[in-house]
Structure 1
Amino acid sequence: MDGAGARRAWAGPPVVWAAGRLVLLLFVFKVFVFPGPDVTSDVSVIYQGWFGVLRQGTFPLADVAWQYPPAAALPILAPGLLPFLSYPHAFYVLVLLADAAVFALLAYAGRRPGKSMRGLWMWVIGVPLLGPTVYARYDVMVTAVAVAALLAGARHPRIMGALAGFGALLKVWPVLLLVGPVRRRAWASAAVTGAVLAAGFAAVMPGAFSFLTYQSNRGTEVESLGALVFHVARHFGWSGQVLLNYGSVEFLGPGVSLVSTIALTLTGAAFGWLLLWRMLAVRFAAHSLADAAFTAVLLFTVTSRVISPQYLVWLIGTAAVCLCFRGTRMGPPALLVLLAAPVTMLEFPLWFGDVVASDGLGLTLMFLRNGLLVAAAVTAAVRLWRATVPAAPRTGIPAQATDTEETPVSST
């Protein structure tokens, strides 16, 4: 490619990123009104209410919607750094900056020798496909920490561990970044970082771990995989209800406790599978760390009692890191996640009323979105296993040699 062609190729992502984010800002700033429920109320009502409580030096103990680890106080308090803006506007600006940080990290990674720009494009295209909800939650900020941790990877295990530990105290799921072939130094760094931060919050702010009680009492949210049981059952006389419960719209009634228990069991089974994989996997390459993290986050998401729209940000971010590596096995599941993003925007907020009503359109959207996520999770798990776990040799036939493109990663 000549110099002019290369410049045009590098100019593409920033232009598309800027255009997509401008549209998101126009919606959250309410220059234009996005159809469906107002997704910005979480910021203007819930987050701003928590901001007032947190500023007084305590967590929102009386609010059952507070279901986050203690470091979540930081993004909620962060808009106070921009006192010249209203709380909601300051929050959206900070999310934009976090989004830009992810863009910069992926752009830097993609331009390194042997890397690919596919990861950057995944982020550039995938985020706006989720609609304005993505800028009205703090998940982009958490994903920025997770992306930085994964890109630090094998080169800087202590930095990766510290970022993963910090991310876990923001929203738990970044601890899944450590399931892959990480070095023991990363685990030690994550443990120290997490312990120090947790102890610090517990010492200075009452109620740092009150979220554990509220989180354990959650039921089956209407967008989750388990909720499909009740979406269908309502058409056959199921007597339960759909109500706002513990901060989300959930099914309440006969059988809900059982389905929620099954979901937790599936999550436990997924962790068991990840443990088995880690014990048997020996063929690691540079991309294996990101591939394992993406697979783990997928499995956690699809088996959860709750699949909120912003969860897709986690998947897009971790998939983007995978795609920075030319040798990644996660291309097909990343594409499935990308396809699930616009369907997620359609089910929330556009036609969320149809989802809550379990009508034909709502059922179609939920089966399609959750089906894509399940397909992505299964595909990712199969491809990760095949790429890293040697096949059992047949009698009299030597075991297949490791792929020459793969470079073992030490776990020490």
Structure 2
Amino acid sequence: MTGARGARFPYGLVGLLGTWGLTRLVLLLFVFKVYVFPGPDVTSDVSVIYQGWYEVLRHGTFPLDDVTWQYPPAAALAILSPGLLPFLGYAQAFFVLAFLADFVVFGLLQYAGLRSGKTLRGCWVWVIGVPLLGPTVYARYDVMVTAVAVAALLAGTRHPRVMGALVGFGAMLKVWPVLLLVGAVRRRVWAAAAVTAAGIAVVFTVSMPGAVAFLTFQRDRGTEVESLGSLVFHVARQYGWDGQVLLNYGSVEFLGPYVDVVSTAALVLTGVAFGWLLLWRLRARQFLPHTLADAAFVAVLMFTTTSRVISPQYMVWLVGLAAVCLCFRGSRMTLPVGLVLGACLVTVLEFPVWFSHVVASDRLGITLLFVRNGLLVVATLLAALRLWRGTVSRPTPPLPSQAARTEETLASS
């Protein structure tokens, strides 16, 4: 049997590496504009916005007068990182670093998938999911944040302090990785995360003016045209709603009557989602090795789906967490992960391919948003239900070998 596995094993790795390499080559050809991807140019955020921030940040201050700067202080490290490759132009260096972050995630998932009790399904989710989103993945720094989050979750079972430090660092890059703590049961994880985040915040606050300006800029955002709440105004425009669609706070948003009401409703929904997560945490009785990743996936799904903004790069977060879930054989998230991958395919169609139809609120644009956001809603509800049933309602006792591994892990940590 060992020989048979040994005969099959290399072919799986060759297929993974070959598919990853081919799809990533295509993405690089698009961001380097060897070929032009349909729709608006997704690389302009790097060559215009990021590079503009770079020029400010390298002089020791945050972009205090730019309301589009809506990120925690450690995001400066991602924006400044192309300076590590001075032999390339800023945009070209950024694309290369995004590619390398993608490769790091691929390597981590492959390594994890070959360990006992794991599977390469998760690696395949990453290999397939990223190209479904198109070149936007390499034209935003979210793939770098996702790499930190994936490393944190994979370290969580055996190395709680490492996970905590990575979560703290990730939260200072783009806030959302703090949600990875939802399923963490060891105090060391929370302590390491708090100490790391606080240390980074203090260093940036002392050394660079404007480290916390992002909090005000985020507060004043409206309803972005791709969000769940935006569907209200897409439909309302067909019946004479007299609002506008404008570039506002760095994204295309609805402005006009009742926008504040819908934005407030989105915040309330997010609050309800966090309330559910708190209730789950208080009621959960069974924490298996995959629960940490499953809970993180559910939490980020809830945050993304109820947010006032669902930018295409948010889907990169979900693909990364979905991949970690399916690294575990016992994960119950297979169907929600499939729905997220379907949402990724629709996402690249609504942005950038047919984004003009979304902005125009025509039939095609509204249909794409209903399908994409509908898939996210169903995935969120289904994932939450499966998490609850697996840990609260009728927990299934682990197999003896699985229980032994869990006890050994807890003892070693």
Range into which the TM-score falls when normalised by the shorter chain: over 0.9
Give the drift of 1:372.
Answer: 0.4
1:300 corresponds to: 303
Matched residue, 2:216: 213
Q: Deviations over 1:286-340 (max 9, x none)?
A: 0000000000000000000000000000000000000000000111100000111
Matches within 5 A, 1:2-401: 3-391=6-394
CA distance in 1, matches of 2:318, 2:96: 22
- Kept in 2, the 8 Å contact 1:71–1:170? The answer is yes
Matched, 1:402 2:397: yes
Q: How far apart are the structure 2 equivalents of 1:401 and 1:220?
A: 42
The aligned amino acid for 1:243 is L
**Cα pair distance change 1:167/1:401, threshold 3 Å:** closer
Asked whether the 8 Å contact 1:181–1:284 carries over to 2, the reply is: no
- Any conservation in 1 of the 2:312–2:348 contact (CA below 8 Å)? yes
8 Å CA contact 2:57–2:76 kept in 1: the answer is yes
Superposed CA deviations along residues 96-142 of structure 1, whole A, max 9, x for unmatched, are 11000000100000001121000000000000000001110000000
Q: CA RMSD in A?
A: 1.5
Cα deviation for residue 284 of structure 1 reads: 1.3
Q: What is the aligned length?
A: 404
Contact 1:103 1:124 in 2 (8 A): yes
Residue pair 1:309, 1:345 contacting (<8 A) in 2 also: yes
Alpha carbons 1:243, 1:250 under 8 Å: kept: yes
Q: Is the 8 A contact 2:294 2:387 kept in 1?
A: yes
Q: Indicate if the aligned counterparts of 2:221 and 2:249 stay in contact, CA closer than 8 A.
A: yes
1:42-69 alpha-carbon deviations (Å, 9 max, x no partner): 0000000000000010000111100000
Alpha-carbon distance between aligned partners in 1 of 2:236 and 2:155, rounded to the nearest angstrom: 47
Moved more, 401-410 or 203-212: 401-410
SS of residue paired to 2:59: coil
TM-score (norm: length of structure 1): 0.96
Q: CA deviation at 1:154?
A: 2.0
Q: Are 2:390 and 2:396, in contact at CA under 8 Å, matched by a contact in 1?
A: no
CA distance in 1, matches of 2:115, 2:158: 14
SS in 2 for 1:327: coil
Could you tell me whether the CA contact under 8 Å between 1:263 and 1:303 is conserved in 2? yes
Instruction: Return the letter of the residue paired with 2:132.
Output: L
Paired residue secondary structure (1:70): coil
Q: Where in structure 1 are there 5+ consecutive unaligned residues?
A: 392-399
- Contact 2:225/2:252 (CA < 8 Å) preserved in 1? yes
Aligned 8 A contact 1:154 1:183 in 2: no
Question: Quick one: distance in 1 between partners of 2:124 and 2:240?
Answer: 46
Counterpart-to-counterpart distance in 2, 1:401 and 1:304: 33
Give how far 1:5 is off: 2.8
What is the CA-CA distance between 1:401 and the residue it aligns to?
A: 6.7
How high is the sequence identity, in percent, across the aligned residues?
70
AA in 1 matched with 2:21: A
Residues in 1 aligned to 2:396 and 2:171: alpha-carbon distance in whole angstroms: 37
When residues 214 and 239 of structure 1 are mapped into structure 2, their CA distance, relative to the original with a 3 A threshold, is same
The separation in 1 between residues aligned to 2:301 and 2:6, in whole angstroms, is 39
Aligned pair in 2 of structure 1 residues 6, 403: CA closer, same or farther (>3 Å)? closer
Distance 1:81 1:9 in 2: 34
Q: What is the CA–CA distance in structure 1 between the aligned matches of 2:6 and 2:14, rounded to whole Å? A: 12
Residue 127 of structure 1 aligns to a residue whose secondary structure is helix
1:401, 1:225 → 2: CA distance? 35
Structure 2 Cα separation of the partners of residues 24 and 4 of structure 1: 32
Instruction: Tell me by how many angstroms 1:165 deviates.
Output: 0.4
Aligned-residue offset at 1:35: 1.0
- Tell me the CA shift for residue 4 of structure 1: 3.8
**Structure 1 residues 327 and 2, CA gap change in structure 2 (3 angstroms):** closer
